[in-house]
Structure 1
Amino acid sequence: MSETKKLYYEDVYQKEFTATVQECRELKDGYGIILDQTAFYPEGGGQPCDFGTLNDIPVTDVQEEGEVIVHHTEKAIEVGQEIKGKIDWERRFDLMQQHSGEHIVSGLIHEAYGYNNVGFHMGSDVITVDLSGVLTEKQLQEIEEETNRKIWENTAVEVFYPSEEELETLSYRSKKELTGQVRLVRFPGSDLCACCGTHVTHTGEIGAVKILTVENFREGVRVTMICGKRVLDYLNMVNDQNHQISVKLSAKTEETAAAVERLQDENFRLKGKLMHMVDELSETEAQRYEDAGSVLAFHEGLEADQVRKMADAIMQKCSGCCAVFSRNEDGSYKYAMGELNGDLRQFTKDMNAALNGRGGGKPFFVQGSVKATEEEIRQFFRQ
């Protein structure tokens, strides 16, 4: 069987094509269609494959196997039949933008710091790039600014196949040692890299690049970024979120951060007041139940640590076991229960079994939650 002609290398913007079916293989999950030529890019080099259709039959995967390219479909197509192929152009162009933007970022980092791109993945939402050295957020911000300047220069991207002699004189990025004919992609002033993927022909088509996060990863860092239309989608999402926040806080969109800071300060002060009130309530309840024997108390609106604090305060004063319950929003109850010098392990086990609960702790003090009503809890404690 002859080699599949790769139309995506001849014209990366070709969206439709005709071809002849050379082979139709039966696979475990469908069929593998081999054509004499194709515009479908197969998965490789960190870039996902193209999707689309062959005679309106969806192509679900594309893989390169030796000299041929296999298109995965759910239906068979007769050998010798002429087909019309259509690639999902929106997806292809998105991947071209992502791959091209990554080239410029990786090339500028390599030039400025000498770090290599040792891992690259294009997901459906973001790109991740693993670098062999550590970079700060400030350094990456500078790289982002320089990347976008290079994009807006709108220079032509060059793809070429140098001779062996020419290759020896060129300084280019590559993740592995290469033999035979090497495909180089040059982004003028930014990057020269051995790459088999698809790219835009002019940097301006990338639109923009936004670096989202950086985190330590192995011996270097992992950078998360987006390019092209994904940047616009991201900005629209952030703008929509900020607008919703501004409405809820009655603040201008450019002043939401300051409004949130004021809200946090107010929340901190209110929490302090609430803690003081709970401390006073716990002390009052402890005095109320002094020498009262065993105590079962219900209080609304307490957090888990406040339930614990109240149970501990009462436990110190009453002469028996103290159990404090507070209802959660879903109708269940959180609890804390204690008895000085007591052993509540079996009682807690029985209670959790009877009231659909979970929890535990020390023999004399336990915490947890139960999925039961107040009446069911009271009924259990009457036994």
Structure 2
Amino acid sequence: MPFMCQNDSYSTLHTAVVQTVTPAKCKVSISGGKEQMTEGYEVILDDTILFPEGGGQPDDRGTIDEVPVLRVTRRGGDAVHFVPSKLEEGQEVKLKVDWERRFDHMQQHTGQHLITAIVDKKFGHQTTSWDLGRNVSFIELDTLSLTIAQMQEVEDECNQKIRDSTPVTVHVTEVGSTLLENVRARGLPEDHVGSVRIIDINGVDANMCCGTHVKNLSDLQCVKLLSVEKGKKGKCNLYFLVGNRVLDFVAKKYADEKSLTKILKCGPIEHVEAVERSVKQLKQTQKEAKNLLREVASFEAKSFKLSVSENRYLRLHRKEGNNEYMNIVANELKGIECYLFLTVGDEKGEGLFLLSGPDKFLEECGKNISDAIQGKGAMNAGKIQGKALNMKGCKQAEELIRTFMSK
């Protein structure tokens, strides 16, 4: 039989009886979306309002007697609740569901059924999989793409069905029932036991599904199709938002718009034009800066040439420099026997380096100097060049160079 969360997806409180409690380990989400292996207990109840993951829908969160439920999975006909604290078998407990998470999943899941059905009906493109993401969901379609006009057509019909307050009915039947003959489905899981649920969007779609759904499309509020991106071979992904996620999206974009208005010092209508103008100015400034950097590199190399007879060692660091800057200096001094140690980037963090000198110097000292700055590079055409992971080691590297030169 279906769980109570499937019989009444709007139920948020329930009293149940603990049937089994087993010590276990489980991977649970921690801060930042990472998973961590955690010790706890697997609890099976006589019934539950907490949905176990399945059908592309993530599991619910909630509490059992104020003990947080960290995961809910399905094992055969049982829902297994993973909790950090032990409960007693036979104990009567009170369940509470995290309604904000549950309702979001209901909106996205029913919205997925609606979008899938309308895309299939209008254009004959079937949904091969879907993903209920944390912020944005998508369906994978067996077509290379959808046009903007097709997306708008699908979105308009979805929202019309919502405005029509189209009912969503759940039918429970058995495997082999004639009700399943005209139902869209991709087959039952191998470990499926018991009854089969059919989610029927009146006049739109009937589909086998174990997930939680709204009773009426009006609870979806609205559907927004965002974009189509290339998917697996011969397929594409259609990204969408439903219900509260649309409102959250609008709120975020409005906050961004206010920030841009303050930064760009113009109204929202002029934002694009102002950004394009700023990007154009930035490119011009970057071009001019590159030209100046080239001139500085050439000037510094020529200045060193004037004193090379007295001082054969050139040490340069330029925070805003790049590989081109170092190579210009090195190329200007090509053919002159001297020692070059050039660096660019953050003096206290990471950067780039170029080391040049006589072959004997590079062979005997190159590795030690590179190790001092945690350099990762290769020797080529009389120089070692690459990335320095520890620019604080430059002082030690200079001492190695001076020691070699003094010999």
Q: TM-score range by the shorter chain?
A: 0.7 to 0.9
Match of 1:219 in 2: 234
- Counterparts of 1:212-361 in structure 2 under 5 Å? 212-213=226-227, 214-290=229-305, 292=308, 294-316=312-334, 318-328=336-346, 330=348, 334-338=352-356, 344=362, 346-361=364-379
Root mean square deviation, CA, Å: 3.1
Shift of 1:241: 2.7
Indicate the residue corresponding to 1:372 in structure 2: 392
Count of matched residue pairs = 378
Q: Is the 8 A contact 1:328 1:334 kept in 2?
A: no
Offset of residue 296 of structure 1: 0.9
Q: Which amino acid aligns with 1:164?
A: S
What code does the residue aligned with 1:364 have? Answer: G
CA–CA distance in structure 2, aligned partners of residues 115 and 343 of structure 1: 67
Contact 1:216 1:222 in 2 (8 A): yes
Distance 1:345 1:267, change over 3 A: farther
After TM superposition, list the pairs within 5 Å mapping 1:1-383 onto structure 2: 6-28=3-25, 29-136=39-146, 138=148, 139-161=150-172, 164-168=177-181, 170=182, 172-176=183-187, 182-213=196-227, 214-290=229-305, 292=308, 294-316=312-334, 318-328=336-346, 330=348, 334-338=352-356, 344=362, 346-368=364-386, 369=388, 370-372=390-392, 378-383=398-403
Q: Report the 3-state secondary structure (helix = DSSP H, G, I; strand = E; otherwise coil) of the residue aligned with 2:128.
A: strand
Q: Which amino acid aligns with 1:144?
A: E
Amino acid at match of 1:13: Y
One-letter identity of the residue aligned with 2:139: V
Is the Cα–Cα contact under 8 Å of residues 144 and 230 in structure 2 kept in the other structure? no
2:370 counterpart letter in structure 1: N
CA contact (8 A) 2:6 2:51 kept: no
Structure 2 contact 372–397 (Cα < 8 Å) conserved: no
Shift of 1:15: 1.1
Deviations 1:72-105 (A, max 9, x none): 3333333333322211111111110111111111
In 2, the alpha carbon distance for the partners of 1:64 and 1:88 equals: 18
CA contact (8 A) 1:155 1:202 kept: yes
Deviates more, 1:172-181 or 1:310-319: 172-181
* Secondary structure of the corresponding residue to residue 71 of structure 1: strand
Aligned counterparts of 1:379 and 1:88: Cα–Cα separation in 2: 63
Aligned with 1:235: secondary structure? helix
TM-score (norm 2): 0.80
Distance in 2, matches of 1:46 and 1:252, equals 42
CA distance, structure 1, for counterparts of residue 339 and residue 354 of structure 2: 11
TM-score (norm. length: structure 1): 0.85
Q: Which amino acid aligns with 1:320?
A: C
Q: 1:344 to 1:225 in 2, by over 3 A?
A: farther
Q: Among the aligned pairs, what percent are the same residue?
A: 28
Report if the CA contact (8 A) 1:311-1:337 is conserved. Answer: no
CA displacement at 1:269 relative to structure 2 = 1.0
For residues 231-250 of structure 1, give each alpha carbon's deviation from its aligned partner in whole angstroms, at most 9, with x where no partner exists: 22222223223322332222
Of 265-274 and 27-36, more deviation after overlay is shown by 27-36
Residues 85 and 365 (structure 1), Cα distance of their counterparts in 2 relative to 1, 3 Å cut: same
Give the secondary structure class of the aligned counterpart of 1:246: helix
Gap runs ≥5 in structure 2: 26-38
Query: Using a 3 Å threshold, how does the CA distance of structure 1 residues 116 and 54 change in structure 2: closer, same or farther?
Result: same
Gaps of 5+ in 1: none
In structure 2, what is the Cα distance between the partners aligned to 1:321 and 1:118?
A: 63
Residues of 1 paired with 2:8 and 2:372: CA distance?
Answer: 71
Q: What code does the residue aligned with 2:90 have? A: G
- Kept in 2, the 8 Å contact 1:311–1:323? The answer is no
The whole-number CA distance in structure 1 between the counterparts of 2:272 and 2:151 is 23
Q: Which amino acid aligns with 2:60?
A: D
Give the 3 Å change call, closer, same or farther, for CA 351–53 of structure 1 in structure 2.
same
Deviation at 1:347, TM superposition (A): 3.4
Which amino acid in the other structure matches residue 200 of structure 1?
V
Comparing 61-70 and 291-300, the one that deviates more = 291-300
> Match of 2:52, SS?
coil
Give the Å deviation of 1:327: 4.7
The SS at the match of 1:217 is coil
Superposition deviation, residue 198 in structure 1? 0.8
Deviation at 1:317, TM superposition (A): 6.4
CA distance 1:145–1:380, shift in 2 (3 Å): farther
**SS state of the match for residue 392, structure 2?**
coil
* One-letter code aligned to 2:342: V
Closer, same or farther: CA 240–367 of 1 in aligned 2, 3 Å: farther
Distance 2:111 2:80 in 1: 28
User: C-alpha distance in 1, partners of 2:83/2:296?
Assistant: 69
Provide the C-alpha distance between the structure 1 equivalents of 2:334 and 2:146, rounded to a whole number of angstroms: 53
Amino acid at match of 1:229: N
Q: 1:238 to 1:317 in 2, by over 3 A?
A: farther
Secondary structure, aligned partner of 1:183: strand
